[in-house]
Chain A
Amino acid sequence: MRDVVLVTGISGNLGRALARQLHRTERVAGLDRRPFEGRPKDLSMHQLDIRKRKVEDVFRKGEIKALIHLGIMHDPRLPQTEHHSFNVLGTKAVLEYAAKYGVSKVVVLSSTNVYGPRPDNDNFLTEDAPLLGSQNFPEIRDLIEIDMYAQQYMWKHPEVETVIVRPVHIVGPTVKNASANYLRVKRPWVMAGFDPMVQLIHEEDACRALAMALKPGLRGVYNVVGPGEVPLSAVLRELGRQPVPVPHLLARPLLDKLFQYRLAGFPPPELDHLQYLCTVDGSRAERDLGFRPAYTMRETIRSVLGEAPPRVVRSATEGAAAAGTID
């Protein structure tokens, strides 16, 4: 019987959060080369590199009804070739297997970084906005390639319901991505004279959106926005940070050197996020998925401190069912 939801990259922080949410209502299987410590008992785990041939066996059994693809690597220290091979080839492989073995739903996690922070951005980019994120940040080319590949796949395989989810900056007590790490810095750099509006989403909310994307009949590209937009300075004030203003013309060469000598963990192009807008319109997801964040702005911001109280969220299928009744 086809009733398994396969989650790639399940051993990552976001993957584990998703597994915890999903396994209560779905049969969940995980695919990751890293072990999943403390996984729920009812979750079957395939510890494999997604580029390996054996991955096909996971699909071959014909149990998988849906694939949620989070298995994307994001380490600015790793060489570009490794990124490309893992992210792009890995994505292509699992998506091809999904089509070949009759998986009816594919959810691909992308992000709003694909649009890129730019001075001439609309304040609320819609899903149709061009993906220019790699213009000033060539290292994230593979992330854009994945998003584009998934769009292509949507056309090539109309029999598979493909959903591309582009959440804003995911933060939370467990995630350790660039934005969450930045907010954990006690004296973070800011660009002198710049204070862009930013959008954050709690990891649990991001996971709920991914689960809601499993809703039958749903396909398309969706920006997923958290509880709204705030100036970066307000976020830092909420966290009690003491920002260090650096002139933007100086910041880039300086961070370039610091990054090169491993004194900083942020690649220099990330500075654009401290300078320009990369905010999006999430109304399509609100309408079609029925997605609304459960965490308030303050809770979302403070979640990086790891002190936000765990909240009882509606389970994935309830959410999907509720969304269904709204239509």
Chain B
Amino acid sequence: MERAPEPSRTTALVRREPERRGLLGRLRSAMEKWTLQLGGREMEERLARLVAPQNEYGVDPFGLDLEFTKAAVAPALWLYKNWFRVQTHGIERVPAGKVLLVANHSGQLPLDAAMIGVSMIAEAEPPRVCRAMVEKWAPTLPFVAPFFARIGQVVGTPENCRRLLMGGETIMVFPEGTRGLNKTFDKRYQLQDFGIGFMRLALETRTPIVPVAVIGAEEQAPALLDFKAGARALGFPALPITPTLLPLPLPVKYHLHFGEPMRFVGNPDDEDSELERRVREVKMQIQTMMDRGLVERGGLFF
């Protein structure tokens, strides 16, 4: 195997695995079948078109395992089709090659990220495994850490993001971070403060930004309050209190609105204020799309 420091997209992947053994192996095979059952013939073709540079142990340099991802996507795909009945608008605007998807973040559990991820496999052209820049908290969580790594999610350091963009990957960022994810119900559809790191990277790597408005997730798990002291004690980023206690998602209908790619040019080392101006442009675009999406949608659940 040649070492590839930058992911190169040359190896096509249609790997037929031998019969898997053991409980976990059988579970994986069953999940993979479930994915195909949910997605049908079209899904099979799309999955076959996913590419990632792989070594003889089936992973790319970041630890993404496509075979594992195909199995792991099943429950998310089920939510996508049957629970949230996700409807995408303008997904054809997402260009091939490197791109930053910038979206609003909400819903207590990052299911909005999962749904955008599924849409990139199930509907985007070409189909691709989208990488989210995850919280630095995630790698400390047992089982979550390797799960995220195998499905291609990467710790959100600027260096990781830069490297992936240089490799022509699709990256999903939520500039609100946990401020958005864990906000309380009274703040729904109000964008929280945006980080500006993504803009620096977009300028540096000349990556188009596609604004994404997620409608529905904001109501999936209404949080009455964020129990901050409890969160601190447990070492969590937030501890939302919802009527169901656990932040289980309601079967709201999701709409994903993809905007026209925004291309920015400028000096990535500019002062923050200079970058903030451009970030505000993206933020306003998302807010506009969100407002329009709210007017257009039929109802919360249908």
Q: Are B163 and A124 in contact (CB under 8 A)?
A: yes
Q: Are A231 and B163 in contact (CB under 8 A)?
A: no
Docked CA distance A227–B55 (Å)? 9
Known: A123-B154, A123-B155, A282-B3. A276 touches B59 (CB 8 A): no
Q: Within 8 Å of chain B (Cβ to Cβ): is A75?
A: no
- Measured as residues with beta carbon below 8 angstroms from the partner, the interface class of chain A is 35 or more
**8 Å CB interface, A253-307 against B:** 276-277, 281-283, 286, 292-293, 296-298
Contacts of A292 in B (CB 8 A): 3
Q: Within 8 Å of chain B (Cβ to Cβ): is A197?
A: yes
**8 Å CB interface, A12-45 against B:** none
Contacts of A247 in B (CB 8 A): 142
**8 Å CB interface, B135-161 against A:** 136, 139-146, 149-150, 154-155, 157, 159-160
- Measured as residues with beta carbon below 8 angstroms from the partner, the interface class of chain B is 20 to 34
Contacts of A283 in B (CB 8 A): 5-6
Docked CA distance A50–B122 (Å)? 64
Docked CA distance A102–B41 (Å)? 72
Contacts of B1 in A (CB 8 A): 227-228, 296-297
**Chain B: minimal CB distance from A266 (Å):** 20
Interface of B is mostly: loop
**Chain B: minimal CB distance from A194 (Å):** 6
**Chain A: minimal CB distance from B281 (Å):** 29
Docked CA distance A231–B58 (Å)? 10
Digitize B9-38: 1 where CB-to-A-CB distance is under 8 Å, 0 elsewhere.
000000000000000000000000000000
Digitize B63-77: 1 where CB-to-A-CB distance is under 8 Å, 0 elsewhere.
100000000000000
Docked CA distance A123–B159 (Å)? 8
Q: Are A122 and B59 in contact (CB under 8 A)?
A: no
Known: A281-B5, A286-B3. 13 other contacts (CB 8 A): A120-B136, A122-B157, A123-B154, A124-B5, A193-B143, A193-B145, A196-B146, A197-B62, A229-B55, A229-B61, A231-B63, A282-B5, A283-B5
Q: What 5 pairs between A and B have smallest CB-CB spacing?
A: A193-B142, A193-B143, A195-B146, A119-B139, A122-B159
List the interface of chain B (C-beta within 8 A of A).
Answer: 1, 3-6, 55-59, 61-63, 136, 139-146, 149-150, 154-155, 157, 159-160, 163
